[in-house]
Amino acid sequence: MNFLKKKFYEYYLHPDIIFPPRFDRREFAFFFFGEDMMRRHISFKDKEKFIYYLKANVPKHVYYSSAYYRQPDAETMAKKQWMGADLIFDMDADHLPNANKMTYEEMLLKVKDEMIKLLDFLIEDFGFKKKDMALYFSGGRGYHCHVFDKHVIELGSQERREIVDYITARGLDFSHIIIEKNIYANYYTTSTLEIMPSQPGWRGRMARGIISFLREIKKMDREEAIKKLMKMEGIGKKIAVSIYDGLDEEKMRRIEEGKIDQMPSIRRLLKPLINELAVVLHSSTDEPVTADVKRLIRLPGSLHGKTGLKVTKIKLDRLDDFDPLRDAIVFGSDLTKIDIMKPFKIKMMEREFDLKKGKTKVPEYLAVFAIARGFGKIF
């Protein structure tokens, strides 16, 4: 048995699996060590049998279906008979722009930022209750959020796509954000522009975003502020100057009340600000998997075969403090001999490691990680 499989076996003797609701209606799928075909269409009637299966087979990766079926082990979709599916957001570094330029730790941090934004949308806008949501570290390069709310279970993929479009602001119409109002007074009409920070939904979110951005700009000194403004898409020097110079106390006060008619150039801020407020779920071509009503997702409590980290549950309000390279580690710190083939630096269990090529001894958890990632081998 190779080192990794042996370690996985030790874990699966007493795994701490978190079973999804309607566990017996799900399809399970596995990758095994030394195989590159996924084994699918497996289902389990009871939890003991499942745990036994893990012990007996020691899978490299474990997945289950977000959907539940009348016959989860049938081989075709038609025979499976779809009954419903959880709503799942898979926030992976793969979906981020520039992911290949970041270190593992940077990627995880960036994905966490996106997840924090997403949770706010799900709770504030969609009204999901915390008890109907679960948050997991994926064991790899991202986070998963599962929603079990009864309202979403039966939604089809087109409806789910609308939810994705909502959180990513795709198709957002700016005339819903900056409201043009006609005022009739003394035989003539004027129009005013308004934003509404106290409103819910995107209208309020964008309005508050504009206000806090302008506050921030106002605090900066002139040169720095103009530089920052000009970095934004569609803003040139002239507009940057006019925005910064226009921001006196009185104007700022009016803007905070939503009255922006004296600063029509605020319109220009909308597009760049959207990118900060919306959730970045995908690169330009890769449509997120959330809309898929029959996808496979990693099982919470199982190990990720390419890191050795555990798919770990995170309390919704503890995402901020969560450190995957501390909290998702299941292996101990006994020193283990390893031959590093590809040098790398990493912080694990709050210890900094700088591994050079060649033979060395490291804590077991790091050995597992390095081998799973293909950075080293046992000798």
Partner 1 sequence: MAKYPFIQEAKEWVKNEKISIEEILNDAVYERARIRAVERVEEAMEHGIINNAGCINQTDCMMEIFSYPIARMIVVSIESDFLLRRYALAEAKKAYENLKNENREIIEYIAKEFAIEIKNGTIHFSDYLKYAPTWDIRWKLVNRIMNKGYIQLSYREITRLLQEAIRKKIQNELFYMFSPPDVKKIFNEFIIKMKNKLALKGDKKFEGEASFKDFPPCIKNLISAVKSGINVPHVGRFTLVTFLNAIGMPLEEILKIFSNSPDFNEEKTRYQIEHITGRISGTIYSVPKCSTIRTWGLCEPDELCKKVNHPLFYYRIKRRKK
Which amino acids are annotated catalytic? 90, 92, 286
Is 192 a binder of partner 1 (CB under 8 A)? no
Q: Which of 21, 24, 130, 200 binds partner 1 (CB under 8 A)?
A: 200
Is 89 a binder of partner 1 (CB under 8 A)? no
Which of residues 293 and 299 has its CB atom nearest to partner 1 in the complex?
293
Q: Which residues are CB-contacts of 44 (< 8 A; sequence separation ≥ 6)?
A: 23, 24, 28, 50, 53
Is 165 a binder of partner 1 (CB under 8 A)? yes
CA distances from residue 368 to 265, 301, 316, 355 in whole angstroms, order as listed? 55, 17, 28, 14
Q: How far is the CB of 372 from partner 1 (least distance, A)?
A: 30
Site for partner 1 in 288-317 (CB under 8 A): 291-293
Q: How far is the CB of 152 from partner 1 (least distance, A)?
A: 6
Alpha helices in 62-131 (DSSP H): 77-80, 104-120
Q: Which of 41, 170, 259, 306 binds partner 1 (CB under 8 A)?
A: 170
Which of residues 194 and 327 has its CB atom nearest to partner 1 in the complex?
194
Q: How far is the CB of 286 from partner 1 (least distance, A)?
A: 8
Stretch that binds partner 1, among 56-64, 260-268, 283-291, 323-331 (CB under 8 A): 283-291
Is 284 a binder of partner 1 (CB under 8 A)? yes
The set of long-range contacts for 209-217, using a CB threshold of 8 Å and a minimum separation of 24, is 209/273, 209/276, 209/277, 210/255, 210/260, 210/266, 210/269, 210/270, 210/273, 211/255, 211/256, 213/269, 213/273, 214/243, 214/247, 214/252, 214/255, 214/266, 215/252, 217/243, 217/244, 217/247
List of residues contacting partner 1 (CB under 8 A): 124-128, 151-152, 155-159, 161-166, 169-173, 176, 199-203, 284-285, 287, 291-293
